[in-house]
């Protein structure tokens, strides 16, 4: 069964647009990762102020492999940058193998100006459904 990894981002109201713009311009590396199944950026409507970055993977190992890969660092360069817009190749990105959900401002540049905090939630899919064909 697949695993779901949700990165919970604390985003000050004034930074929402910046965050969404960053995701709109994201590297698109995750699509190429082995075992990657789904990604959604979820904007809160009510009940919470946090954005959810929903990802689904074939297995825990596939997720771990992506997280310690160059593709992950590449996809998070701007997330750790201290200035916007970040220059390509800014050294402030999330380093390869960085602990998930590390506090904002941790060494290595976790939490740029858009998200002030991040927490990783893990789930396994026990049941799922899709619309019936026809």
Beta bridge partners of 55: 5, 39
Torsion angle (degrees, nearest 10) of CA 66, 109, 85, 96:
-20
Q: Which residues form the interface with ligand HEM (CB under 6 A)?
A: 5, 7, 9, 19, 22-23, 26-30, 39, 53, 55, 75-79, 94, 100, 102, 110-111, 114-115, 118, 120
Q: How far is the CB of 132 from ligand HEM (least distance, A)?
A: 29
Backbone region of residue 55 per phi and psi (left: phi > 0; alpha: psi in -120 to 50; beta: other values): beta
Q: How far is the CB of 127 from ligand HEM (least distance, A)?
A: 21
Q: Which is nearer to ligand HEM, 56 or 134 (CB)?
A: 56
Backbone region of residue 23 per phi and psi (left: phi > 0; alpha: psi in -120 to 50; beta: other values): alpha
Q: How far is the CB of 124 from ligand HEM (least distance, A)?
A: 14
Q: Which is nearer to ligand HEM, 22 or 107 (CB)?
A: 22
């Amino acid at each position: 069964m697949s695993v779901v990894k949700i990165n919970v981002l604390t985003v000050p109201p004034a930074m929402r647009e910046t965050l969404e713009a960053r995701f709109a311009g994201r590297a698109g590396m995750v699509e190429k990762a082995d075992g990657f199944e789904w990604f959604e950026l979820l904007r809160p409507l009510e009940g919470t102020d946090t954005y959810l970055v929903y990802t689904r993977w074939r297995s825990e190992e596939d997720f771990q492999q992506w997280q310690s890969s160059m593709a992950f660092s590449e996809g998070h360069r701007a997330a750790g940058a201290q200035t916007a817009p970040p220059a390509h190749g800014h050294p402030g990105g999330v380093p390869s193998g960085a602990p998930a959900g590390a506090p904002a401002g941790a060494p290595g540049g976790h939490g740029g100006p858009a998200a002030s905090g991040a927490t990783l939630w893990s789930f396994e899919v026990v049941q799922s459904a899709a619309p019936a064909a026809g």
